[in-house]
Amino acid sequence: MDTPNAADELLNTAKQADPANAGALTRAQLTPEAAAEPQGQDVPGHDHAPAATPAAEEAGPSPYVLPAVSLALLLAGLTLDHYQPGFFTPTVRLLWYGVTFLLVGYKVVRSAIQSIPSGNIFNEFLLMSLATIGAFALGQYPEGVAVMLFYTVGELFQDAAVNRAKRSIRALLEIQATEVAVLRNGQRLVLDPKQVVIGDVIEVRPGEKVALDGTLQTERAAFNTAALTGESVPQTKQKGETVLAGMINQDTLSQIEVTAAFKDTKLSKILAMVQGAVARKAKTQQFITRFAKVYTPIVVGLAVLLTLLPYFIVDDYVFRDWLYRALVFLVISCPCALVVSIPLGYFGGIGAASKAGVLFKGSNFLDVMREIDTVVMDKTGTLTKGVFAVQQVVAGPGQDPARFTALAAALEAKSTHPIAKAVVQHVQPTGPALPVENVEEIAGHGLRGHVDGQEVLAGNTKLLAKFHVAYPPEIDQLIDSIVVVAVAGQYAGYLTVADEIKEDAAQAVQELKAQGIKTIVMLSGDKEAIVQRVAKELGISEAHGGLLPEDKAAHVERLKAAGHRLAFVGDGVNDAPVVALADVGIAMGGLGSDATIETADVVIQTDHPSKIATARRIAVATHRVVWQNIGFAFAVKAVVLALGAGGLATMWEAVFADVGVALLAILNAVRIQRMRF
C-alpha cells in the first residue's frame, strides 16, 4: 500500500476525472504520522510500490479476488479436516494452509519485516504476523489463516467505508473545470484555466462548469450552485453580478469577465481548506495515536511475560499452551478499531458537513464547536442579507442632490461595503467617471477622499464629528442606516439605506437556543436603534450597536474572560480579527470577504445562519459516534483479553475482538454520512 500525505492524496483525487478510480485512503493515511509524511517518501512498515494510476487500477485485479480464493481454500480445508481426516498428510496439510495463508498474509508479513530497520516495530503488522506465524508453529493452521484472512477482509471493508466517507468531499474536489473557452481577438480558444488572466472573457455553454470567478456579461443566466453550496435551487444571475467557479450553467450561452486568477478563485481556496482539514487532527485522534504507540509495545511485553512467567508459578507449565494464550492475547490487543474508526468518524463528520454546505477546516474544530456555549454574531451580511437599497435622498440647505450623490457614489465605489455598493447602484452615473484620489477608509466611520478636486466625506455621523463637520442634530434620531455626506468641509445631505433580515435568521437563533446555547449576542457597527430592532425581531436578548472593530474584539474578550467558549460569526473584512480571536471563527463564505474566510475555522458556504446550528449538530453527532467506538472497543478488548490470558478464549474469539470490533466501529462511524442534519 502506498501511503502519501492525506492532503496530497485528496489533491491527486481532484486531478482524476473518474471518482471510481480514486485510490482508497488506507489505515496509515488516517493517522497523524502519515499526514505529516512528505510526499514521495517510503513509509516504514508499508509497501514501497508507487501509487497505482487510475488506468492501472481499472486494469488490475479486484482486491477481493485473493481473499475470496483464500476463503474458498480455508473452507475446503476445514471440510476435508472434518469429513476426510485422512485426506491430508502432514506435509500436504502444511502446504495447503501455507498457500491459503500467503494469499492474504504475504503483504502483511512483508510490511512487518520492512518496518523493523526503521524502528517502527510495534505496529499492527507485527502483531498479526507474530500471532499467525505462531499459530502455524503450534500446528493451528486453520486458526492462523482465519486470523489473517479476516484481518485482510476487515482492511477491505475499512477502505470501502473510508471511500464512502470521502465521497462528499471528493465531489467537492472534482467540480473544478479542467478547460475553459476564452474569447480573444475574435477567436474562441480552449485553454487550461491556469492560462486565463484577469480581464479575459470566457464563454460557458449550457451544462458546462464555470472555470473561474467573474462577472456576468450576458443579460441573464441561471446557474446550479449545488456543488458549492449544497442548495439545489438554481440561482438566476443578472448582468454585472458575480459568478463563481464550480457553478454549472443551466440554460444560456453565457459570457463572463474573469475577475480572479485560477489560484485565487473561491473554489480553489475552498479546496485548499479541505486538503488542510485532513491533516488537522482532533485531540481525541491525537490521544488515540499516542496511546497506541505506548499500548502496543506494552501488550507485546505482556504477551512475552504471559508465555514465560507461568514457568516460575504454575506447577504443570506447558510452553505450547501458554504460547497459544499469548498469541491469542496479541491478536486481541491489536488497536485496529481505535486507530481506524476514530479518524474515520471525524473524516465522516467533515464530509457530512461539506455536503450540508459547511466546511470545517479541521477535525479539531468539530470538537471545539461541540463545546461552545456562546454564539456571537455580526448583523450585516450574517443575520441580514447585506443587500442594501437607497430609500431616500435628503439634500442639505442649498445643496444639489444630484451633485452630492454623484460625489458620494464616486467615493463609495472604492469600498466593498454593502451600503457603499447600494449608493453606487442607486446613482449609476451615466456621464464620465469623476476622478477620485487619496481615498482613506476609516474603520467604523466611512470614507474620506478627493473627488473631482473636492474633499468628500461619506459615512456615518461619527465620521463628520471626527472631522468637525456640523450636521443637523435630528439626523442622530433616524433609525434607518444612513450615509451622511460632506463636501469641502460642509454638510451636503444624507441617504437612507435599508437592509433585510435573512429568512432563516430567526430559525437559527431558535435552533441554537434549543441546543442549549444560553448566550447569543449580536454585535454591529450599525446604529444602536437598528441593532436593537433587529435583535428584538430575532429573539436575541443581548445586542450592541455603533461598534468599531476594536469594540467587537473587546466584547469577545469580555465573554472569554467570563469563561465562555464562544463562536463568532461574521462576513466583513473588519470581522477577521474577531473571528481569529474566538474559540471557533465562522465565516459566511458567499458574501464574506476573503480575509475573513481565510481566518475562519468554519466556513458556511450558503450564507445561511441556520447552518450554524447544523454545524453544531454535526459536531455533537461526530463526538458521540467517536466515543461510542472508543467505549465499545475498550470494553470488548478488556473482556476478551482477560479471557485470553486465562485460556478461555481461542483465536476465533480473538478475531471477533480485533476484526469484528473494528468492522462494527467502522460501520458505526459511517452512520454519520447517513444522518440527516
Residues carrying an active site annotation: 378
| Sequential DSSP letters for 154-196 | HHHHHHHHHHHHHHHHHHHHTTS-S-EEEEETTEEEEE-GGG-
Do 289 and 31 form a contact (C-beta atoms < 8 A)?
A: yes
Reference 619, options 296, 364, 310; nearest CA is 364
Give the side-chain half-sphere CA count within 13 A for 229: 19
What separation in angstroms does the CA of 188 have from each of 208, 536, 579? 16, 55, 44
Do 62 and 159 form a contact (C-beta atoms < 8 A)?
A: no
State whether the Cα torsion 308-313-319-323 is positive or negative: negative
Beta strands in 563-638 (DSSP E): 566-570, 584-588, 602-604
Place of cell 483464500: 70
Classify residue 125 as exposed, middle or buried by CB count within 10 Å of its CB (0-12, 13-18, 19+). buried
Reference 80, options 89, 68, 70; nearest CA is 89
State whether the Cα torsion 268-269-271-275 is positive or negative: positive
C-alpha 179/C-alpha 404 separation (Å) is 47
Collapsed DSSP state (helix, strand, coil) of residue 515: coil
The DSSP letter of residue 656 is I
Q: Under 8 Å CB-to-CB from 279, ≥6 apart: which residues? A: 5, 6, 7, 32, 35, 36, 362
| The total number of residues written for the chain in this structure | 677
State whether the Cα torsion 251-253-257-263 is positive or negative: positive
C-alpha 124/C-alpha 128 separation (Å) is 6
- Cell numbers describing residue 187: 477567436
| Sequential DSSP letters for 70-81 | HHHHHHHHHHHH
C-alpha 152/C-alpha 234 separation (Å) is 45
For residue 378, the cross-strand partners are: 523
Burial letters 299-317, b for 16+ CB under 10 A, else e: bbebbeebbeebeeeeeee
- Cell numbers describing residue 491: 454638510
Beta strands in 208-250 (DSSP E): 214-216, 220-224, 235-238, 242-243, 248-249
C-alpha 317/C-alpha 186 separation (Å) is 92
Angle at 381 between CA 392 and CA 219, to 5 degrees: 70
Q: Under 8 Å CB-to-CB from 241, ≥6 apart: which residues? A: 215, 216
